[in-house]
Amino acid sequence: MIISKLPEYFEKNGWKNPDDVYDGPFQYAMGTDKHYFDFLASKPYYQQAFNTVMTISHRRRGQNWFNFFPVEEKLRVQNPTDVVLVDVGGSQGADLIAFKDKYPDIPGKLILQDLPIVVAEAKNIPAGIEAQGYDFFNEQPVKGAKAYYLRTVLHDWPDKQALQILTRVREAMAPDSILLINETMLPESNVALSSAQADLTMMVSFASLERTKEQFETLLNDSGFELVKVWMPKGFEESSAGLAEQATLLEARLKQ
CATH number (domain holding residue 13): 3.40.50.150
Greater model confidence, 94 or 53: 94
CB-facing half-sphere around the CA of 195: CA atoms within 13 A: 22
User: What size, in residues, is the chain?
Assistant: 256
Identify the pLDDT of residue 60.
Answer: 53
pLDDT in tens, 103-144: 999 999 999 999 998 888 887 899 899 999 999 999 999 999
Q: With cut-offs at 50, 70 and 90, classify the pLDDT of residue 228.
A: very high
Identify the pLDDT of residue 48.
Answer: 72
d(CA 224, CA 163): 9
- Phi/psi class of residue 197: alpha, beta or left (left: φ > 0; alpha: ψ in -120 to 50)? alpha
Identify the pLDDT of residue 83.
Answer: 98
Phi and psi at residue 58, to the nearest 5°: -70, -15
Helices 159-172/213-222 angle, 10° precision = 60
Catalytic residue numbers read: 155
Identify the pLDDT of residue 38.
Answer: 81
pLDDT greater than 60 at residue 182: yes
Of 166, 161, 203, 163, nearest in space to 181 by CA: 166
pLDDT in tens, 144-162: 999 999 999 999 999 999 9
Contacts made by residues 51-54, CB under 8 angstroms, sequence distance 24+: 51/91, 51/92, 51/118, 51/121, 54/91, 54/92, 54/94
Identify the pLDDT of residue 6.
Answer: 93
pLDDT greater than 50 at residue 58: no
pLDDT greater than 60 at residue 191: yes
Greater model confidence, 88 or 3: 88
Greater model confidence, 31 or 43: 31
Q: Domains in the chain: how many in total?
A: 1
Share of the chain above pLDDT 90, in %: 73
Q: What is the pTM of this model?
A: 0.90
Contacts with 68 (C-beta within 8 Å, 6 or more apart), sequence order: 231, 232, 233, 234, 236, 249
Instruction: State which residues form the domain around 48.
Output: 3-254
pLDDT greater than 70 at residue 55: no
| Average pLDDT value for the chain | 91
* Contact predicate 146/103, CB 8 Å: no
pLDDT greater than 80 at residue 47: no
Identify the pLDDT of residue 51.
Answer: 64
Return the beta strands (E) in the chain as ranges.
83-88, 109-114, 129-133, 147-151, 178-183, 185-186, 211-212, 225-231, 248-254
* Alpha-carbon distances of 203 from 7, 13, 241, rounded to whole Å: 14, 14, 21
pLDDT greater than 80 at residue 227: yes
Identify the pLDDT of residue 39.
Answer: 80
